[in-house]
């Protein structure tokens, strides 16, 4: 049986599904992935900019990057994969008791498609205060202004040559409560994920007997460990990707769940599996 037909059978016999998505799910919507073509901004990799150190050293540069990404994503629409996942959540097959979507993406496209989801790495459209004594540092505030501040208008072009003057800190986004610099409410390398968010993710992973892993390179922890965790408990894992990111480490180990790879663009493969399951 082809892997997509086996994936449909697994979906139709599961009780609790978790869907983990990464940047590949939004690729067909026109959002560049981190580690694929278009993943560089100017000459920087995400690992160089998505860090507290990069922001502390050059908040103007890092805000330019986020401003460019906010403006890019604003015009993007859900593709077939986002829509199929939303359909699965709103009209699950009778066997499914739960379908929890956990995304590493900060682009807000799953919510736009109507999906309830756990955004484990935060959102491009929320900010928080950098002053740890301010209440605004522990709660994210939605901010969809375009541009977020006047000083960023026309800035952030991804071309390598582009290099305007640094924007003075006073002109970058500021906290409404204390006036300090704000930052994007996203999780940078070396930062802990929100404990409440991680608790909900862990609850869903503990309960699940099937994990769909869609469009993620599986390089960044903690999400990179989820498939192993589910399989080790006997749950099944189906990966949807244009390229295989992992091997089934030890398929012969007793009690270990199956690992299935559905190769191809997820905007095609995910709707194929979901539609076939919902048509039954
Ligand atoms: C398609 C497709 C199509 C394309 N169809 N597929 C254990 C071991 C080693 C290191 C660590 C560890 N635990 C923690 C760490 C440190 C670190 C880490 O993981 N480092 C690794 C690089 C080794 N993790 C952290 O720091 C995390 N914090 C943490 O764990 O705290 C505790 C701790 C700290 C330090 C040490 C130990 C413990 C926080 C990680 C935060 C990641 N943040 C970012 C930025 C978010 C904000 C922003 O966007 O600006 O999150 S980095 C970036 O990577 C972003 C993404 O969510 C994340 C994952 O990327 P993703 O989604 O997988 O994208 P790509 O581009 O990598 O892959 C796209 C995939 O799609 C590819 O596979 C394509 O083939 C595929 N594709 N088109 C289907 N049409
Ligand atoms: Zn503040």
Closest C-alpha to 108, from 99, 119, 95, 92 = 119
Active-site pick, 67, 82, 110, 121: 121
Which residues, in sequence order, are bridge partners of residue 239?
213, 261
71 near 261, Cβ under 8 Å?
Answer: no
For a ligand 1 pocket test, name from 21, 22, 39 the mutation site with the most ligand atoms within 8 angstroms of its C-beta: 22
210-214 and 236-241 as β-strands: parallel, antiparallel, unpaired? parallel
Closest C-alpha to 74, from 114, 29, 43 = 29
142 near 182, Cβ under 8 Å?
Answer: no
How far, in Å, from the CA of 11 to the mean position of ligand 2?
Answer: 46
Identify the pLDDT of residue 164. 82
Position 206 confidence tier, pLDDT thresholds 50, 70, 90: very high
Identify the pLDDT of residue 227. 97
Q: Is 121 a catalytic residue?
A: yes
Mapped onto helix, strand or coil, the DSSP state of residue 89 is helix
Identify the pLDDT of residue 246. 75
* Per-residue model confidence as pLDDT tens digits over 152-165: 999 999 987 778 89
Instruction: State the Cα–Cα distance between residues 171 and 182, nearest whole angstrom.
Output: 11
Q: pTM here?
A: 0.97
Q: Tell me the average pLDDT of the chain.
A: 95
Instruction: Tell the residue nearest (CA) to atom 14 of ligand 1.
Output: 221
User: 238: which 2 tokens?
Assistant: 């189906």
Instruction: Tell the residue nearest (CA) to atom 20 of ligand 1.
Output: 220
For a ligand 1 pocket test, name from 39, 40, 121, 220 the mutation site with the most ligand atoms within 8 angstroms of its C-beta: 220
Answer yes or no: is the C-beta of 198 below 6 A from any ligand 1 atom. no
> Which H or E run contains 98?
strand 98-103
* Per-residue model confidence as pLDDT tens digits over 157-200: 998 777 889 999 999 999 999 999 999 999 999 999 999 999 99
Answer yes or no: is the C-beta of 266 below 6 A from any ligand 1 atom. yes
* Per-residue model confidence as pLDDT tens digits over 10-60: 999 999 999 999 999 999 999 999 998 888 999 999 999 999 999 999 999
Ligand in nearest proximity to the CA of 135: 2
* Per-residue model confidence as pLDDT tens digits over 216-273: 999 999 999 999 999 999 999 999 999 998 766 555 566 789 999 999 999 999 999 9
> Which H or E run contains 20?
strand 16-21
């Amino acid at each position: 049986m082809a892997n997509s037909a086996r994936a449909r059978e697994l979906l139709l016999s599961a009780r609790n599904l978790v869907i983990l998505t990464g940047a590949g799910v939004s690729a067909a919507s026109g959002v560049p992935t981190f580690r694929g073509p278009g993943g560089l901004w100017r000459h920087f990799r995400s690992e160089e900019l998505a860090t507290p150190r990069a922001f502390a050293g050059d908040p103007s540069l890092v805000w330019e990057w986020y401003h460019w990404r906010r403006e890019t994503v604003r015009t993007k629409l859900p593709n077939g994969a986002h829509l199929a996942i939303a359909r699965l959540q709103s009209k699950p097959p009778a066997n499914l008791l739960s379908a929890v979507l956990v995304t590493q993406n900060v682009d807000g496209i799953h919510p736009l498609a109507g999906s309830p989801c756990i955004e484990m790495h935060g959102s491009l459209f929320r900010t928080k205060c950098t002053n740890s004594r301010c209440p605004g540092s522990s709660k994210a505030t939605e901010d969809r202004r375009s541009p977020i501040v006047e000083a960023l208008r026309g800035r952030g072009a991804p071309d390598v040559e582009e290099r305007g003057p640094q924007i003075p800190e006073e002109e970058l986004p500021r906290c409404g409560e204390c006036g300090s610099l704000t930052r994007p409410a996203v999780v940078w390398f070396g930062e802990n994920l929100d404990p409440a968010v991680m608790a909900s993710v862990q609850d869903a992973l503990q309960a699940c007997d099937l994990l769909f892993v869609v469009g993620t390179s599986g390089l960044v922890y903690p999400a990179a460990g989820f498939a192993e965790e589910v399989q080790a408990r006997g749950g099944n894992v189906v990966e949807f990707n244009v390229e295989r990111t992992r091997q089934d480490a030890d398929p012969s180990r007793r009690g270990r769940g199956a690992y299935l790879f559905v190769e191809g663009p997820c905007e095609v493969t995910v709707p194929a599996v979901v539609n076939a399951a919902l048509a039954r």
